[in-house]
Structure 1
């Protein structure tokens, strides 16, 4: 149904009004802050790519097609200048800086939500998304940048992070972030937080209970979860709090756990650069490029592969429903063979007289 009267707003004005609405929903708790940040960033990007001074109602499916193509070719700032990782899933040549399939799908969802709201608000007569001809990329299997690292690859990354944290020098301004970088990778691999949960963490969110270090993570929908940290990770955290963070602190961000070398709270977009720097220290045979979300997949996959209780994994990752784990459970080479070797119905099967059969 068409609105009775269309407000002929420019793309920029419509994007600004939509961004204000999203921020208001986040302020009232109706929308997670991290989700709101993504929506706002995507709609402002859409406005820039579509033409800020154009009238929103004049855009048709072909115009949106053009925006989607331009976004797909837009350099991915998170990976700019990153190392040329070797192994399966490495990006090479012209593909190295473009938007990933996941980013393109997310951008498309954000634009769709924007136009749905625009149609309801009377900014457009018809939703142009209905006539978009470009279709989302078919999955056809797991994307390399989101597939879980193997145990060998994850071990190489963890070893590099521990070595980086242990060897972090003191004094030089450009090297004070090494202890922080090691801590970031250790937290991502061991706990699997969302990148927004990691960058929003404050010093006061980490506490000790019965001699165990815990991280109180503030997740989606206002839910919190207390996750115990492995001992090796807790040691690096304590070292960072005792020295590394103090060297970075400029008194600007009093509560933030992770600080930039300028003393500001670390931004979401900086985390990929941290992972890439640590990956440079991994030997080529164990190195594969990965995103923060790929490390979340890695945590879930290896916890489940080790027969960890599914509900415990759900609580570590902060999911409301067990069914969500299916999206984070990736296949590992050789895991089916390993499972069958220790089949519970065949291994050490007992005979009728109390003995065992080989």
Structure 2
């Protein structure tokens, strides 16, 4: 039952109050100390990611989606790869984190801290393999154009913003990343592997030679707007090191190193914050690949052309990348080809 009066407390205050309840359950034996410790760690981490000073009731589904995905990318100091670098959170830890956050919001609804439980509208779910993933991957047309518009505005601002510190000269790069992912749909590995020499001009058209899976390459023409941002980035936004392994890399960190796969999601999130709230939705790099395929196919682009853009070896793979869009059946029937002349 919805409480009579809403108590607008901050995320940090909600976490502290909820953890008092968790500790009380420990003393009564309802929760084990180990379980209580896990709840405490997860809830405090969520508060830190979501913004401790924000009002809890102001968090919506996309805010919680972004926090869940951000946790999945957090380094786990207890797990190391072959090179000794920290791995990201395991799928088990990510699923547990989602359960902890869900339990806190259920209590928040009963306590009158939120009007609606945002967990009922989040799109990020826990997978047995791969951890937390957005359930609906492709952006709608409004969401995609909102993201593209935000990236384009950032690019314009970066070109006219005057001199900045090295760590602030990333506007053109961030805009280019989002535009390439949304309109061309490369795999994130293909994007971060790209070198400057992979882009060339033929008959007035800018092409990207993408080195994909299995040693296969494909030459994809860039939309004119994307090509313009690429040229601006190469002319003004890219500051390559004098020499070294990253000398040829297209995408560089502000320190002059080749951008890593894990950095791309942070770039998308940064651009997404500039989108109008009603068109904003959390999305992964692979979700933008789905967005490219979905909207090209929905606009009746030849299936084989879409296959070649995405770098699939056969048409059957496209089925996995074609997501449903709200209202598409209604649009199709309104524009029925057999009734168009009438």
In which range does the TM-score fall when normalised by the shorter chain?
0.5 to 0.7
Select the structure that is richer in strand: 2
Q: Is the 8 A contact 2:66 2:282 kept in 1?
A: no
- SS of the residue aligned with 1:225? strand
Partner of 2:290: 297
Q: Is the 8 A contact 1:87 1:285 kept in 2?
A: no
Gaps of 5+ in 2: 1-37, 74-89, 95-125
Partner of 2:222: 229
Provide the aligned C-alpha RMSD in A.
Answer: 3.3
Partner of 1:265: 258
Gaps of 5+ in 1: 1-69, 108-135, 349-357
Aligned residues: 242
Change (3 A) 1:274 1:222: same
Q: TM-score, normalised by structure 1?
A: 0.61
Distance 2:262 2:298 in 1: 30
Q: Is the 8 A contact 2:138 2:288 kept in 1?
A: yes
2:305 paired residue among 312, 333, 337: 312
Distance 2:298 2:140 in 1: 11
Q: Deviations over 1:18-37 (max 9, x none)?
A: xxxxxxxxxxxxxxxxxxxx
- SS of the residue aligned with 1:234? helix
Q: Is the 8 A contact 1:145 1:290 kept in 2?
A: no
Q: TM-score, normalised by structure 2?
A: 0.64
Q: Deviations over 1:307-342 (max 9, x none)?
A: 000000000000001000011000011111111111
Distance 2:164 2:272 in 1: 24
Q: Is the 8 A contact 2:200 2:207 kept in 1?
A: yes
Structure 1 residue runs of 4+, over 6 Å off? 82-87
* Counterpart mapping for 1:62-101 below 5 A: 81=49, 90-91=63-64, 95=68, 97-99=70-72
- SS of the residue aligned with 2:207? strand
Change (3 A) 1:160 1:86: farther
Partner of 1:148: 138
Partner of 1:127: none
Distance 2:307 2:170 in 1: 31
Greater relative CO, 1 or 2 (CA 8 Å, sep 6+)? 1
